[in-house]
Structure 1
């Protein structure tokens, strides 16, 4: 049953990516919405689940929060190291090809960061599928509740996976490949639970770490980019709407 439900998540992920690529003429709105969706997923879905599942405190601080901060710092360090490496090899704005706008869609950003972020989204989607399968192991009622949350917020996952990959200057083909991988991931995760029962604490720890990395990308990259050239009220409303949408999904799933 979990695998069949995961096919719905597969379709919703593709729908989210399709939406992201169809509104390129309103890029600032796409980024504003993506930032809001990511903020909502982290603050209202991933972090509460991680706090519940990750277990004991470490030196007075919940393990999930420590890993959350660790994920944020890891994303920051990785991006800075890649940016320094790119600049050292002359790949920054000064190395733009003739006729190429160094302030174009990638904004001098490092494509590997976008691919790494998208790969993290794929890993999160695998965890979604595992959570879905584990919920059906507990019982039908729990499975239905988790299925609603997974299927609806996988639209946001697909939207964000495509947007993150393209934001950092990767080709459309790579963005589509990452989108397809993200769509298949929950099916793989759900199928894997047919072979084993996943302990709760490792899953909670992973969700905490991933939430920190995702929050960094939303707060330090996507939202500033959304408002850089279009500091419009409509962009801000898209961000607020993205958070509210995830809140609605979480509330309906309870």
Structure 2
């Protein structure tokens, strides 16, 4: 949930990785208002009943169909645990609005490359191999100056400046009102992509936003990061994932 050069660099990487999906910035905003754009498609396979994982004491409640997950992960290049987190957040309705897995995936790519930023890997439970910590929000460059609090220090260890944490890059102040237990394991953790995706869905839907409308979709993503470039990057990523997933279905 931060803006700056890192988002633009990742956007450039996205254009290479996803075959140059383009979106004109001039169509997104005027100085006073958000204009209409097409929300990315977000088809998912039929949900499956919750099933217990016999290998753990925790009941694993994956919602998305495993066959859809496997095939769509291959088509889009999104790691399966990350795609599961995004699709389950959509199917659960945790956000309370029509937020699609493609939108969550677009944000997840820009923020942390689905938890794999900097050569990290993501495990089957949706956790990165090492914690993802955003830069200090110290007012330098394009970053706002935000002082840390006693509570947020426990997240990132900086006694002076705030940092976003986890694969969806939440600030503690943004996390706490919307935090959700995406994998229903009894723990809510910003470093767990299942929880982070569900929390992002709730955040995007806040205030009764209608993400099925173009202006509502753009307004929601802009609230996540106050940057025109960021909204364009998320839209390009989400649209590219939708196209790749649709191509897989057609094939």
TM-score (normalised: structure 2)? 0.28
User: Looking at both structures, which has the greater relative contact order when contacts are Cα pairs under 8 Å and sequence separation is at least 6?
Assistant: 1
Higher helix share: 1
**CA radius of gyration, larger in:** 1
